């Protein structure tokens, strides 16, 4: 279809030339472009950014599917509804769909418009961002808020810098930060994490308070004898049967994604490992210092720590680019996240702020690594 | 004394169409082109006109800046045509070869010192075979390099096997090394201990192993004796070392060489005895919508079906032009016909498979996103992405710091191949080098 329309109408000088970026995006989505190499290497690897990005989306699928089931599970359990498995899953799926639709329609709309204005091809980066955003916000977040957050993040975090590859901060996290600071009542507290809209039986029922394990631990309700945080055992948190953002709860689902990302080499295992190491170390120090009673490995399974380490901190554009830099960057992400969790009275979750802060610092880390390397080279030259 | 160097990083591209070590044909010279465009940075001055007769070894053009540097005809015959392009730029001097070849006699005496060697290279037209680093320009006249490097093997896709190509010219090769050693210490790298070149004397032998670009002389230099600011080294292709030796041994300029005809779209694979400047049509059979690359697929030159083999080339790679558009290419779980070094595809399942690659770009150009892949294919002590960005920014100081003196585009050619964002890395590096030459001159 797109191919038949292309000559004349959408070509340079054609009436609808201003739409060429969008047409091109759909066209190349369906078929590999027929462009041949003009200079440099005459043959090229089959890999392109579309493939890279789709790998990340596939890696997110287990977390998304489990999250949908868990949305239903939490509602069913806390309101005593006694739903079956498929009922829970369908409820979660239907609750999540509007978030995905809003995220993609608003985000891709702005991406396409920006590509048109710049006269460039539409970049694939938003395929991932658009999938991430619904997974890291409370499921009942009002859609207009989500739309605003997406628009803000795509426009001011990505497009003003020049699009995917040029941005300094992770756009999905900025969308979350935008919601967090602009509409705190919809984003935090213990009433937002379990969905009850759309359930007729619950019309007029007050929201059940369902604090996340992270919040419970923050308040000090940790049972050292059973190892439970409030009503949630360690295994509940490991499997993901706890309230929280849709994608973040299940360690198993996230690990499945992590295996794919590391296997394909799309995300850096160094960042993942060092981030977990940083979190464990600070968690352990916090325990020693008496800031918390929760064992350090709980920090990894609670809240968005692992999701952030695997999917957000590893974004190749906003993370450190040098291999040594990745170790430092990842470690500081994990360490800072737990520092925020343990030593501040306001926010339960430190992962978002830790990653955004380290995004800001990543170029400095790289600068130090590269400078150290070049001065070592210069010294070698003098002694050689 | 030999040194071992085992390089880990890099990538061998599994391209179909390797040339079997047999001579499939010998091309007798008819029309031979002398191309100034083969020599980077050369501004030529023409020394002949149409109708002039020349011998094999007679000068046909010179360097405008340094008239002592001559470029000679590889055959005897009559100047048939002077080919000019836009703004009357000299593109080629075409010489119609005589049936009986006659040679200029340069005298057999082996040169005794560096000046005699330089003199011999200048008058035979072989000065142009000296490539000077940094920047990969033609060697400067008053430069004494700190060393001369010769890589006797190429790891590039389907590259000609030098052990086979020069099997009968080893005495010439040795004579060439002896001559060059009068100018500066010579380093010869071989790919395995039992290579015929291992016995070459009057030089330091290095055994280098590893995937491409281990055979690139630039990569070897960066490990053996990195080039720092103010230093220069020369590199010489083993073919030209043998040609230099041949002049020393016989007094005649002889550029005839075995040319590997390779590539997935080549009709007949094997070696053809030919000479630089010969029309590629006479060397290989060309049919259909194909691209004829002089050299390897990573940094070869698109010669076109009517082109002439270049001075430095002893390989022709023939590829299909990849204009066809594959449905759902990137979204298919399996694409058995497309090779990818990335584990996002499944090429790793078939490590021995050779691929019928074409010239399709397999994607659209994007900003840099994944950059670790560059480091994985660059076995040098540099940060490729920082060098690339410094070149894009035109920042001289940063380019120096990040190693512009050590690289030529060919050393980063694999980055072109692996980049998912489809950036033209070699062109970017060349742009940086051009800027350095302009600013540092």
What are A174-202's pLDDT values in tens digits?
999 999 999 988 887 777 888 877 776 66
pLDDT for B56 beyond 80: yes
Could you tell me which of B383, B369, B378 has the C-alpha nearest to residue B422? B369
pLDDT for A345 beyond 80: no
3-state secondary structure of A350: coil
Of B228, B300, B362, the CB nearest to A44: B362
User: Residue B272 has what pLDDT?
Assistant: 96
The per-residue pLDDT for range B363-387, each reduced to its tens digit, is 888 999 988 899 999 999 999 999 9
Tell me if B360 and A377 make a contact (CB, 8 A cut-off). Answer: no
Among A18-22, A40-44, A119-123, the least confident range? A18-22
pLDDT for A339 beyond 70: yes
Residues of B in contact with A265 (CB under 8 A): 342-344, 372-373
Residue B94 lies in a domain: no
Residue B397 lies in a domain: yes
| Per-residue pLDDT band at A1 (split at 50, 70, 90) | very low
User: Residue A264 has what pLDDT?
Assistant: 93
Residue B267 lies in a domain: yes
Residue B290 lies in a domain: yes
User: Residue A33 has what pLDDT?
Assistant: 83
The per-residue pLDDT for range B155-191, each reduced to its tens digit, is 999 999 999 999 999 999 999 999 999 999 999 999 9
pLDDT for B119 beyond 80: yes
Phi, psi of A378 (to 5 degrees): -65, -40
Residues of A in contact with B321 (CB under 8 A): 36
Domain containing B303 equals 23-27+258-320
pLDDT for A384 beyond 60: no
**Which of 293-352 (A) contact B at CB < 8 A?**
316-317, 321-323
Q: Which residue of A has its CA nearest to B362?
A: A46
Among A168-177, A193-202, A217-226, A269-278, the least confident range? A193-202
Q: What would you report as the CA-atom Rg of chain B, rounded to the nearest whole angstrom? A: 21
pLDDT for B106 beyond 60: yes
Residue B89 lies in a domain: no
Q: What one-character DSSP code corresponds to residue B398? A: H
Residue B283 lies in a domain: yes
Is B100 an 8 Å CB contact of chain A? no
pLDDT for B145 beyond 80: yes
Percent of chain B with pLDDT over 70: 100
pLDDT for A9 beyond 70: no
- For an interface test with B, the pick among A23, A33, A43, A266 (most B C-beta atoms closer than 10 Å) comes out as A43
User: Residue A219 has what pLDDT?
Assistant: 80
Distance CA A246, CA A65 (A): 9
The per-residue pLDDT for range B314-331, each reduced to its tens digit, is 999 999 998 888 888 888
Of B344, B402, B403, the CB nearest to A47: B344
Tell me if A33 and B364 make a contact (CB, 8 A cut-off). Answer: yes
Tell me if A49 and B361 make a contact (CB, 8 A cut-off). Answer: no
Residue that the structure tokens 């300029």 belong to: B253
Residues of A in contact with B304 (CB under 8 A): none
Tell me if B383 and A163 make a contact (CB, 8 A cut-off). Answer: no
User: Residue A226 has what pLDDT?
Assistant: 83
User: Residue A87 has what pLDDT?
Assistant: 93
Query: CA distances (Å), B310 to each of B22, B30, B74, B301, in order?
Result: 22, 16, 12, 9
Domain boundary among B320, B352, B374: B320
Is A41 an 8 Å CB contact of chain B? yes
User: Residue A35 has what pLDDT?
Assistant: 86
User: Residue A165 has what pLDDT?
Assistant: 85
Query: CA distances (Å), A256 to each of A62, A132, A250, A297, in order?
Result: 7, 16, 10, 19
User: Residue A5 has what pLDDT?
Assistant: 52
Is A290 an 8 Å CB contact of chain B? no
- B302 & B369 share domain: no
Is A164 an 8 Å CB contact of chain B? yes
The per-residue pLDDT for range A105-147, each reduced to its tens digit, is 999 999 999 988 888 888 888 999 999 999 999 998 999 999 9
Determine the distance from the C-alpha atom of residue B87 to the mean position of all C-alpha atoms in its chain, rounded to a whole number.
28
**What is the token pair recorded at A228?**
């439970």
Residues of B in contact with A125 (CB under 8 A): 369
Is A162 an 8 Å CB contact of chain B? yes
| Per-residue pLDDT band at B1 (split at 50, 70, 90) | very low
| Per-residue pLDDT band at A349 (split at 50, 70, 90) | confident
Query: CA distances (Å), A161 to each of A175, A213, B381, in order?
Result: 16, 37, 31
- Work out how many domains chain B is built from and give that number: 2
Residues of A in contact with B363 (CB under 8 A): 32-33, 44, 47-50
**Which of 304-363 (B) contact A at CB < 8 A?**
317, 319, 321-331, 335, 338-345, 347, 357-363
pLDDT for A215 beyond 70: yes
Distance CA B134, CA B371 (A): 25
Residue B197 lies in a domain: no
Tell me if B326 and A32 make a contact (CB, 8 A cut-off). Answer: yes
Could you tell me which of A314, A298, A322, A302 has the C-alpha nearest to residue A373? A322
The per-residue pLDDT for range B63-77, each reduced to its tens digit, is 999 999 999 999 999
| Per-residue pLDDT band at B17 (split at 50, 70, 90) | very high
- For an interface test with A, the pick among B422, B424, B428, B430 (most A C-beta atoms closer than 10 Å) comes out as B422
- Tell me the mean pLDDT in the region B78-94: 94
The per-residue pLDDT for range B186-205, each reduced to its tens digit, is 999 999 878 889 999 999 99
Query: CA distances (Å), B209 to each of A203, B5, B161, B361, in order?
Result: 73, 6, 15, 30
Residue B287 lies in a domain: yes
- Tell me the mean pLDDT in the region A91-108: 95
Q: What would you report as the CA-atom Rg of chain A, rounded to the nearest whole angstrom? A: 23
Phi, psi of A92 (to 5 degrees): -65, -40
User: Residue A292 has what pLDDT?
Assistant: 86
| Per-residue pLDDT band at B78 (split at 50, 70, 90) | very high
Residues of B in contact with A316 (CB under 8 A): 369-372
Residue A138 burial (CB < 10 Å; 0-12/13-18/19+)? buried
pLDDT for A100 beyond 60: yes
**Which of 78-97 (A) contact B at CB < 8 A?**
none
User: Residue B2 has what pLDDT?
Assistant: 58
User: Residue A227 has what pLDDT?
Assistant: 82
Closest CA of chain A from B361, distance in Å: 5
User: Residue A2 has what pLDDT?
Assistant: 47
| Per-residue pLDDT band at A6 (split at 50, 70, 90) | low
pLDDT for A284 beyond 90: yes
Looking at every residue in chain A, the average pLDDT score rounds to 88
């Amino acid at each position: 279809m797109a191919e038949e329309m292309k000559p004349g109408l959408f070509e340079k000088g054609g009436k609808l030339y201003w739409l060429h970026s969008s047409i091109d995006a759909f066209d190349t989505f369906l078929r590999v472009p027929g462009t041949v190499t003009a200079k440099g290497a005459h043959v090229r690897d089959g890999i392109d950014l579309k493939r890279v990005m789709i790998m990340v989306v596939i890696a997110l699928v287990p977390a998304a599917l489990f999250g949908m089931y868990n949305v239903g599970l939490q509602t069913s359990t806390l309101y005593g509804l006694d739903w079956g498995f498929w009922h829970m899953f369908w409820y979660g799926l239907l609750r999540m769909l509007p978030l995905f639709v809003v995220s993609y329609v608003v985000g891709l709309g702005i991406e396409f418009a920006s590509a048109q204005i710049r006269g460039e091809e539409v970049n694939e980066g938003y395929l991932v961002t658009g999938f991430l955003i619904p997974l890291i916000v409370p499921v009942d977040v009002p859609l207009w808020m989500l739309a605003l957050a997406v628009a803000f993040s795509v426009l001011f975090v990505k497009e003003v810098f020049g699009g995917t590859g040029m941005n300094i901060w992770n756009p999905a996290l900025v969308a979350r930060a935008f919601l967090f600071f602009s509409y705190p009542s919809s984003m935090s507290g213990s009433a937002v994490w379990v969905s009850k809209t759309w359930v007729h039986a619950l019309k007029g029922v007050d929201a059940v308070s369902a604090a996340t394990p992270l919040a419970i631990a923050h308040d000090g309700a940790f049972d050292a004898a059973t190892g439970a945080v409030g009503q949630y055992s360690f295994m509940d948190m490991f499997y993901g049967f706890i309230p929280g953002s849709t994608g973040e709860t299940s360690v198993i689902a996230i690990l499945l994604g992590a295996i794919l990302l590391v296997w394909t080499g799309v995300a850096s295992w160094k960042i993942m490992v060092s981030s977990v190491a940083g979190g464990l170390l600070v968690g352990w120090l916090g325990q020693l210092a008496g800031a918390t009673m929760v064992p350090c490995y709980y920090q990894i399974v609670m809240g968005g720590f692992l999701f952030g380490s695997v999917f957000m901190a590893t974004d190749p554009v906003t993370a450190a680019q040098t291999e040594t830099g990745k170790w430092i960057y990842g470690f500081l992400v994990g360490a800072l996240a737990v520092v925020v969790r343990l030593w501040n009275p306001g926010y339960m979750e430190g992962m978002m702020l830790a990653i955004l802060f380290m995004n800001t610092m990543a170029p400095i880390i790289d600068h130090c690594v590269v400078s150290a390397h070049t001065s070592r080279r210069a010294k070698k030259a003098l002694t050689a | 004394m030999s040194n071992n160097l085992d390089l880990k990083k890099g990538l061998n591209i599994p391209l179909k169409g390797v040339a079997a070590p047999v001579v499939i044909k010998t091309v007798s010279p008819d029309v031979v082109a002398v191309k100034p465009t083969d020599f980077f940075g050369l501004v030529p001055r023409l020394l002949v006109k149409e109708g002039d007769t020349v011998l094999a070894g007679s000068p046909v053009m010179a360097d405008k800046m340094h008239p002592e540097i001559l470029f000679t005809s590889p055959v005897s015959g009559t100047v048939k045509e002077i080919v000019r392009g836009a703004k009357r730029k000299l593109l080629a001097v075409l010489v119609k070869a005589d049936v009986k070849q006659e040679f200029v006699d340069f005298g057999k005496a082996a040169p005794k010192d560096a000046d005699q060697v330089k003199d011999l290279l200048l008058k035979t037209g072989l000065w142009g075979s000296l490539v000077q680093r940094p920047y990969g320009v033609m060697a400067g006249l008053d430069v004494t390099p700190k060393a001369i490097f010769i890589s006797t093997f190429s790891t590039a896709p389907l590259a000609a096997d030098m052990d086979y190509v020069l099997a009968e010219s080893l005495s010439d090769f040795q004579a060439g090394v002896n001559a060059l050693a009068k100018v500066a210490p010579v380093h010869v790298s071989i790919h395995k201990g039992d290579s015929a070149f291992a016995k070459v004397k009057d030089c330091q032998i290095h055994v280098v192993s590893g995937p491409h670009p281990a055979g690139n002389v630039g990569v070897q230099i960066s490990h053996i004796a990195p080039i720092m600011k103010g230093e220069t080294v020369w590199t010489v292709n083993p073919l030209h070392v043998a040609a230099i030796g041949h002049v020393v041994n016989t007094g005649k300029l002889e550029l005839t060489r075995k040319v590997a005809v390779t590539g997935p779209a080549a009709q007949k694979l094997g070696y053809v005895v030919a000479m630089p400047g010969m029309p590629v049509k006479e060397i290989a059979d060309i049919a259909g919508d194909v691209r004829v690359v002089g050299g390897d697929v990573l940094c070869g030159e698109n010669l076109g079906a009517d082109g002439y083999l270049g001075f430095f080339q002893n390989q022709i790679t023939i590829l299909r032009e990849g204009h066809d558009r594959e449905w759902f290419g990137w979204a298919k779980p399996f694409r058995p016909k497309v090779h990818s070094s990335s584990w996002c595809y499944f090429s790793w399942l078939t490590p021995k498979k050779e691929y019928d690659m074409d010239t399709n770009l397999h994607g659209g150009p994007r900003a840099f996103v994944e950059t670790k892949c560059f480091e994985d294919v660059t076995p040098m002590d540099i940060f490729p992405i920082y060098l690339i960005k410094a070149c894009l920014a035109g920042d001289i100081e940063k380019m120096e710091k990040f190693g512009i003196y050590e690289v030529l585009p060919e050393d980063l050619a694999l980055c072109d191949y692996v980049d998912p964002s489809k950036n033209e890395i070699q062109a970017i590096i060349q742009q940086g080098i051009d800027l350095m030459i302009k600013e540092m001159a």
